[in-house]
Structure 1
């Protein structure tokens, strides 16, 4: 039976010519077919599809008389048929049936070559539709392969995931439900695609007789899982209370790893002891970071995870993943890093983490990365969560570790808000010591190095009091508290040194207040003068040109704030200086009272 005759560009054939060509193909052994034969067969297929004769093409392919031709050259039609299905052309159903027929008729090796070419060269506008079309047929062909199945599977999965990486990952539940770009559907389809190969690995492992091919198949599936953890799962918003499609995909990945005999604990905690075949070290760490998040935060497969690891050990290991997540510029990474940090700390007993842990690079870096989130992150929800994690971290350290942690943060944070939070925690620890949990770190000479950092103005008289206001106010409150509770300091040496630190600090602070008040008062006066000039300008149109120039020059030197807002800021600054001075005055009063009391005694 022949193909229909059609004209395509310069190709013009009649029925007799077509039948002659087909007859020649029937009489020619496969090994003697020439490249032009393959091209001509492809042209005939293209003519059929262009003319809407998909039914005729399917009939030709299914004709038993043409089986030899189809087996030899049918692979060249694969791209045409897949594109027709993706574009949902007139011959959609016939093309689907034709693809299925080819996968059962042609050489699996040749088909695999054609399909791999398709996976590596997908139209950017049709990625999801092409992948969804290819996957069932690709699976059929792979299952027919006898040799190099693992390598071909690895090539296919790698190419497919590379294409999917071009699609945006949904960042909200609404986007995931809409799945506009088809990414969620594709990854769900990939789960079904890999299942037969996972089952094959399980069978081979269970038989206790495995070959190098079996091990290679296991390795390729491991690579697929690790790539999936890094993308899309590390990017995705996941919530165990809402079983979204990507959450279900994450569950499949977490179930697949143990199924192919890949221990989650080894991957997370002991990966450095063996070479990782799946990807480079940075990519592998991102994948394992997501694995830790899914396990300890989303609690996926946590019931089957060994319970022999102590909370401190788990925290120590997870620090290797928390740090890169917190230092990332991606919101999804930071969110997962904060959640993993919080969950890793929650199971640790309060006041139990020893100071020796802070000698580990990861334990030093994590708070610094957390500080970056608190000070530089533009998203308020991340900053609020970060503050909760910071407090949880402080709560878990023992007294010596807290002391060292506070010193480190005061020396490195360079941010008044963070420093004020640390000063507040120092006061809490002093109060806790006074109330019965006495220790030398917060109620003895060891307290003095901390106070030296708290009661200091690193820029001296040039300190910007407004930017440093939070720390200064908290520091003055701490100083007032210490002076009130002087009898609990237990050591005259501590008291004497505290008084010396206090005197030096207050002396410099007064100088700063005097300079700052003079500056801001002058700015306020200048602003009021400008406002008077503007009012006069409105009343005196004859002098408007000269006055406008004068005001414009002055405004160039000032901020973009409106005059009303500038006035509020300047007035607020002066009120702040008054508050500082009132605290200083109260501290001096307390000091005088203590000195008089000592003289009377």
Structure 2
């Protein structure tokens, strides 16, 4: 490509021809010139042209057509590798039409021709395969991943077709590795090829499949791509169990800890939730061990804000728990960091997530986890959740579970010191407690307070089981008296405040009504809120009265 040709090309395509008027022969012409430049050994000159600032118009519009000859040059000539790599990197970064043309014809055709060259190589095959896969995957990450069935079927940006082409491209190299498994003593080149294919799989898991909607009921393009990834890993002698449970990922993969966890989290999801290749997974691992290992990935997924990550995290959490026997998880597991972090992340979903379906799924998984804990673990877990007071709704849900456990422990054969004995009193002390004393906001704490009163009423009704345990009944009565005394004070102060606010509102309405400046809708809303608060206080007080009546009845019963 001499200077006159270069100037002519710039004059014709950049200055004189609008981008929308470019014709197929224009693209072919620049490809021919670029190929000729490489054939003549002028890769440095081509790189200079591609990187020159004044040529960026043509590079952005048509530079993508140079990718194929550059890739072919990489796999044929070692001496031009550095220049060609730099050119490919620049083109994939700035060529704005690269993606659209890839999805239509170039992606598949260049992969097909490139594969023919690569399969014939003996030296540097692994490095060249890695270069091609890395460059193409970087480009694909710029495309939005379809997150619904409709978007995937439309495939507007061509991501699904590209993934299918990528899977077909790698099959020949996977088959080559697979044919050398067994007793064959692999060469350094074979090992490097395995590493490059492993990099490809791990990047695909994190950058493409983690955001995709997948379902066993719909064998979509991305589902088939996920299947290819899952089949490829064992084919290149990468054990799924070692990768998931023993973190055997090679250092040469060049992923940071977070990226590695995300890739393996997606792998765990595909294996245990979508059941892809599960039939070949070893069945020697206990459900508790699988849960323990998966908690790291569940935590990784639930700590993100993307809906696709949260859905996969919740599904993996539920599936990992389902095989565990109820009331079997020991308290020692709660000492693990992941068994602390996951419920905390789950609580954030329950309280802060704006998506109702995620909150509903989160609550189901939350209860499933509670069901799997043994009595001591439940006791410790409830204490932990009540001590980290952040949301009255979650605390009320915990207190409701405490009541259920007390009820379960009172059934024949289920007696537990953690919910009937002295140990239960420490938990009860956290339940029957107002953290802000008389200044507690009763409306914001309503769920918690109502559940605590329901629990207290239940304990008084079922006093026989508690009276039979030394010191428990007496201490329960003391805790109850202190709690109800403080709660009455709090209700009295809150009722006085809200009654005064309601009176002030009504007086203000009368004054404004005379001037005809009142906002009736707003006033009615505020009035309803204040009335609702007063009704809530009446309901709380009625429960207190009932509890005190029960107390008097029980005092008449001889010990």
Q: 1:585 aligns with which of 545, 550, 554?
A: 545
Q: Does 1:125 align with 2:93?
A: no
Q: 1:504 to 1:87 in 2, by over 3 A?
A: same
Q: Does 1:512 align with 2:490?
A: yes
Q: 1:45 to 1:135 in 2, by over 3 A?
A: farther
Q: Does 1:448 align with 2:425?
A: yes
Distance 2:130 2:250 in 1: 21
Distance 1:365 1:252 in 2: 33
Q: Describe the superposition over 1:450-506 as per-residue Cα deviations: whole angstroms up to 9, x where unpaired.
A: 110000001101100000000100000000000011011122411100000000000
Aligned residue in 1 for 2:53: none
Q: 2:465 aligns with which of 481, 484, 488?
A: 488
Aligned residue in 2 for 1:410: 386
How high is the TM-score relative to the length of structure 1?
0.81
Q: Which moved more, 1:511-520 or 1:110-119?
A: 110-119
Q: 1:107 to 1:307 in 2, by over 3 A?
A: closer
Q: Give the number of aligned pairs.
A: 533
Distance 1:395 1:452 in 2: 23
Alignment of structure 1 residues 18-57 onto 2, 5 Å? 54=25
State the shift of 1:370 in Å: 1.0
Q: Which moved more, 1:576-585 or 1:148-157?
A: 148-157
Q: Does 1:149 align with 2:125?
A: yes
State the shift of 1:214 in Å: 1.0
Aligned residue in 1 for 2:453: 476
Distance 2:23 2:262 in 1: 49
Distance 2:291 2:169 in 1: 36
Distance 2:253 2:407 in 1: 54
Aligned residue in 1 for 2:444: 467
Q: Describe the superposition over 1:28-62 as per-residue Cα deviations: whole angstroms up to 9, x where unpaired.
A: xxxxxxxxx6556667888999997959x89x989
Q: 1:362 to 1:180 in 2, by over 3 A?
A: same
Q: Describe the superposition over 1:374-424 as per-residue Cα deviations: whole angstroms up to 9, x where unpaired.
A: 111111111111110110001001111111111111111421101111111
State whether residues 108 and 142 of structure 1, in contact with CA within 8 Å, keep that contact through their aligned partners in structure 2: no
Aligned residue in 2 for 1:430: 406
Aligned residue in 2 for 1:27: none
Q: Describe the superposition over 1:227-278 as per-residue Cα deviations: whole angstroms up to 9, x where unpaired.
A: 1100111111111211221111111111111111111001000116964634
Q: 1:330 to 1:53 in 2, by over 3 A?
A: closer
State the shift of 1:156 in Å: 2.3
Q: Does 1:527 align with 2:497?
A: no
Aligned residue in 1 for 2:40: 72
Aligned residue in 2 for 1:214: 190
Distance 2:249 2:194 in 1: 19
Q: 1:229 to 1:358 in 2, by over 3 A?
A: same
Q: Which moved more, 1:38-47 or 1:126-135?
A: 38-47
Alignment of structure 1 residues 216-255 onto 2, 5 Å? 216-255=192-231
Q: Which moved more, 1:302-311 or 1:183-192?
A: 183-192
Distance 1:169 1:150 in 2: 28
Distance 2:377 2:24 in 1: 78
Q: 1:336 to 1:561 in 2, by over 3 A?
A: farther
Q: 1:110 to 1:334 in 2, by over 3 A?
A: same
How high is the TM-score relative to the length of structure 2?
0.86
Alignment of structure 1 residues 293-332 onto 2, 5 Å? 293-332=269-308
State the shift of 1:86 in Å: 11
State whether residues 45 and 77 of structure 1, in contact with CA within 8 Å, keep that contact through their aligned partners in structure 2: no
State the shift of 1:562 in Å: 2.0
Q: Does 1:499 align with 2:499?
A: no
State the shift of 1:103 in Å: 5.3
Q: Describe the superposition over 1:510-554 as per-residue Cα deviations: whole angstroms up to 9, x where unpaired.
A: 00000110111111111212222222112xxxxxxxxx6xx8xxx
Aligned residue in 2 for 1:7: none
State whether residues 338 and 386 of structure 1, in contact with CA within 8 Å, keep that contact through their aligned partners in structure 2: yes
State the shift of 1:168 in Å: 1.7
Aligned residue in 2 for 1:384: 360
Distance 2:91 2:482 in 1: 72
Distance 2:37 2:292 in 1: 64
Q: Does 1:563 align with 2:534?
A: no
Distance 2:269 2:111 in 1: 29
SS in 1 for 2:181: helix
Q: 1:521 to 1:202 in 2, by over 3 A?
A: same
Aligned residue in 1 for 2:374: 398
State the shift of 1:84 in Å: 10
State whether residues 62 and 97 of structure 2, in contact with CA within 8 Å, keep that contact through their aligned partners in structure 1: no
State the shift of 1:142 in Å: 2.9
Point out where structure 2 has 5 or more consecutive residues left out of the alignment. Answer: 51-56
Q: 1:162 aligns with which of 129, 138, 141?
A: 138
Distance 1:302 1:225 in 2: 17
Q: Which moved more, 1:43-52 or 1:199-208?
A: 43-52
Aligned residue in 1 for 2:54: none
SS in 1 for 2:524: helix
RMSD of Structure 2 on Structure 1 (CA): 3.6
Distance 1:392 1:361 in 2: 19
Aligned residue in 1 for 2:435: 458
Q: 1:487 to 1:140 in 2, by over 3 A?
A: same
Q: Which moved more, 1:160-169 or 1:358-367?
A: 160-169
State the shift of 1:117 in Å: 2.2
Higher-Rg member (1/2): 1
Q: 2:335 aligns with which of 332, 343, 359?
A: 359
Q: Does 1:596 align with 2:556?
A: yes
Distance 2:77 2:556 in 1: 99
Point out where structure 1 has 5 or more consecutive residues left out of the alignment. Answer: 1-36, 539-547
